[in-house]
């Protein structure tokens, strides 16, 4: 007799990132699907982690995080964005996805509605449902969000409790400017909403090519939503050391919120993972204290990788939507003259051409775009070149 399982999870498909990575391994394909870099981490942080592993504690860390890491996170945001934070604003989590889960569980009650913009990271909707909430989606386009204020107001109803807002945005790579962020802030303050801010890509900004002011997907400086007037007390933020230092497998993230909200989110966190490996926390603290000089070189390396992949794809006949942030670019299949769905292209590309990409339709449950695929460009030159060659083979299959 099979055990009775939760239908919420029985109905969920395996993550698209896991599926495409497994398909890449099965077919010996270049994996441009899952979003991890294969270069760019500071060796000094690895040394600090190794030293902490051998000489530091290997027992449970405090649930809310090592004091030195919480202080380092607060100081990092004071230094970079002028935010007046202290360790009471911080809860360290096992990755940003866990931070998002803890924030959603702490802020959303059964029957509450959360507005999300799609396409969106695939954990949002399942976690909202796990908290007993429902989600109202707004279809996101690459046009400025300020044009959608009427749509945003129209989507807000009596059950609406929160807006889940991702900036910079995955999978499109959009970096929202001050006016666009003000649109979200105005809606939140007018309707007394909490904003769950997924800001994990805050430091992964791609400098525009020489002679260009900004890319089509946005451009300029990242602005934390909590720094806008009236937003500090109604914003819960997810941050990620994995994104800042290109160490995604470490799964060290954090929550930043007003002390009272951070304390409640920390209570949800304690029953999810309780704590995060102390040696990795110590190394991240070292990185945040010592690591500002690494941020710009990281951006420059990613910019060069993006330019290499974009140039190769365009030479192969693909229409590329260049990002202002994240590790990802999107290829517009329809604009490239390929008249099949993103999922069909992804399946054929990994099985017959030797490259794994992610269909963007996986980032939306309702009315998804089916003409875009997402590629990770944060790769070594040889990985990019092999992936581009495989994409060229895939294009030839549908020419």
Rounded Cα gap, residues 132 and 104, in angstroms: 10
CATH number for position 25:
3.90.1150.10
pLDDT tier for residue 214 given thresholds of 50, 70 and 90: very low
Torsion angle (degrees, nearest 10) of CA 368, 384, 142, 335: -70
Rounded Cα gap, residues 78 and 94, in angstroms: 23
Q: What is the pLDDT of residue 399?
A: 72
* Same-domain status, 227 and 244: yes
CATH number for position 117:
3.40.640.10
- Tell me which of 257, 291, 325 is where a domain ends: 291
Does residue 207 sit within a domain? Answer: yes
* Same-domain status, 35 and 123: no
Q: What is the pLDDT of residue 32?
A: 96
What are the structure tokens assigned to 75, written together?
A: 């100081």
* Same-domain status, 20 and 142: no
* Same-domain status, 163 and 16: no
- Secondary structure of 270-297 in HEC code, one letter for each residue: HCCCCCCCHHHHHHHHHHHHHCHHHHHH
Q: How many domains does the chain have?
A: 2
pLDDT tier for residue 218 given thresholds of 50, 70 and 90: very low
Q: What is the mean pLDDT of residues 168-186?
A: 93
Does residue 178 sit within a domain? Answer: yes
Q: What is the mean pLDDT of residues 326-349?
A: 96
| Of 41-50, 163-172, 291-300, 330-339, minimum mean pLDDT range | 291-300
| Residue 17: pLDDT over 70 | yes
Domain that holds residue 182: 43-291
| Residue 212: pLDDT over 80 | no
Global model pTM greater than 0.95: no
* Same-domain status, 78 and 202: yes
| Residue 178: pLDDT over 70 | yes
Please name the helix (run of DSSP H) or strand (run of DSSP E) that holds residue 332, with its range, or none: strand 328-332
Q: How far is CA 186 from CA 14, 176, 221, 234, in A?
A: 37, 15, 20, 12
Q: What is the mean pLDDT of residues 77-105?
A: 98
Q: What is the pLDDT of residue 210?
A: 45
Grouping H, G, I as helix, E, B as strand and the rest as coil, residue 214 is coil
- Tell me which of 275, 291, 307 is where a domain ends: 291
Does residue 370 sit within a domain? Answer: yes
pLDDT tier for residue 211 given thresholds of 50, 70 and 90: very low
Q: What is the pLDDT of residue 143?
A: 58
| Residue 147: pLDDT over 70 | no
Rounded Cα gap, residues 267 and 326, in angstroms: 30
Grouping H, G, I as helix, E, B as strand and the rest as coil, residue 93 is strand
* Same-domain status, 54 and 195: yes
**pLDDT tens per residue, range 113-134:** 999 998 899 999 999 999 999 9
* Same-domain status, 349 and 324: yes
* Same-domain status, 303 and 285: no
* Same-domain status, 91 and 207: yes
Pairing outcome for strands 90-93 and 253-256: antiparallel
Q: What is the mean pLDDT of residues 96-104?
A: 98
pLDDT tier for residue 39 given thresholds of 50, 70 and 90: confident
* Mean pLDDT computed over every residue of the chain: 92
- Tell me which of 291, 316, 342 is where a domain ends: 291
* Same-domain status, 193 and 225: yes
Does residue 2 sit within a domain? Answer: no
Q: How far is CA 390 from CA 18, 115, 376, 395, 396, in A?
A: 20, 38, 14, 9, 10
Q: Say which residue the tokens 């202290």 belong to.
A: 86
Q: What is the pLDDT of residue 390?
A: 98
Does residue 76 sit within a domain? Answer: yes
In the chain the first and final C-alpha atoms are separated, in Å, by: 51
Torsion angle (degrees, nearest 10) of CA 56, 242, 271, 84: 90
Rounded Cα gap, residues 52 and 265, in angstroms: 28
Q: What is the mean pLDDT of residues 73-97?
A: 98
| Of 223-227, 329-333, 363-367, 373-377, minimum mean pLDDT range | 363-367
| Residue 145: pLDDT over 80 | no
Does residue 1 sit within a domain? Answer: no
* Same-domain status, 387 and 302: yes
Rounded Cα gap, residues 275 and 252, in angstroms: 10
* Same-domain status, 147 and 165: yes
Q: How far is CA 213 from CA 176, 217, 222, 334, in A?
A: 15, 12, 15, 28
| Residue 219: pLDDT over 90 | no
């Amino acid at each position: 007799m099979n055990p009775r399982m939760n239908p919420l999870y029985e109905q969920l498909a395996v993550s698209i990132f896991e599926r495409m990575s497994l398909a890449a391994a099965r077919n010996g394909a270049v994996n441009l699907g899952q979003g991890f870099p294969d270069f760019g981490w500071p060796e000094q942080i690895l040394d600090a982690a190794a030293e902490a592993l051998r000489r530091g504690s290997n027992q449970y860390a405090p649930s809310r995080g090592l004091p030195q890491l919480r202080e380092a996170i607060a100081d990092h945001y004071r230094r970079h964005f002028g935010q007046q934070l202290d360790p009471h604003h911080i809860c360290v989590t096992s990755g940003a996805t866990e931070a998002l889960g803890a924030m959603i569980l702490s802020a959303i009650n059964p029957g509450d509605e959360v507005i999300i913009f799609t396409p969106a990271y695939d954990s949002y909707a399942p976690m909202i449902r796990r908290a007993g909430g429902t989600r109202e989606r707004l279809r996101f386009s690459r046009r400025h969000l300020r044009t959608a204020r009427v749509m945003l107001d129209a989507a807000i109803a009596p059950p609406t409790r929160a807006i889940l807002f991702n900036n910079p945005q995955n999978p499109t790579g959009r970096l929202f400017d001050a006016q666009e962020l003000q649109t979200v802030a105005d809606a939140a303050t007018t309707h007394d909403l909490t904003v769950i801010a997924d800001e994990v890509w805050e430091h992964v900004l791609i400098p525009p090519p020489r002679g260009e002011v900004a890319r089509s997907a946005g451009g300029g400086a990242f602005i934390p939503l909590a720094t806008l007037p009236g937003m500090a007390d109604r914003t819960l933020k997810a941050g990620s050391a994995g994104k800042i230092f290109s160490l995604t497998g470490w799964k060290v993230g954090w929550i930043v919120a007003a002390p009272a909200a951070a304390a409640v989110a920390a209570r949800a966190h304690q029953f999810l993972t309780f704590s995060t490996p102390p040696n990795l926390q110590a190394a991240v603290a070292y990185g945040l204290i010592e690591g500002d000089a690494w941020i710009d070189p990281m951006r420059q390396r990613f910019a060069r990788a993006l330019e290499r992949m974009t140039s190769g794809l365009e030479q192969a006949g693909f229409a590329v939507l260049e990002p202002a942030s994240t590790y990802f670019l999107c290829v517009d299949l329809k604009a490239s003259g390929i008249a099949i769905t993103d999922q069909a292209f992804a399946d054929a590309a990994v099985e017959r051409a030797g490259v794994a990409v992610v269909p963007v339709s996986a980032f939306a449950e309702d009315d998804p775009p089916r003409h875009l695929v997402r590629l990770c460009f944060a790769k070594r030159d040889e990985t990019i070149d092999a992936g581009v060659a495989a994409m060229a083979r895939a294009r030839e299959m549908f020419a």
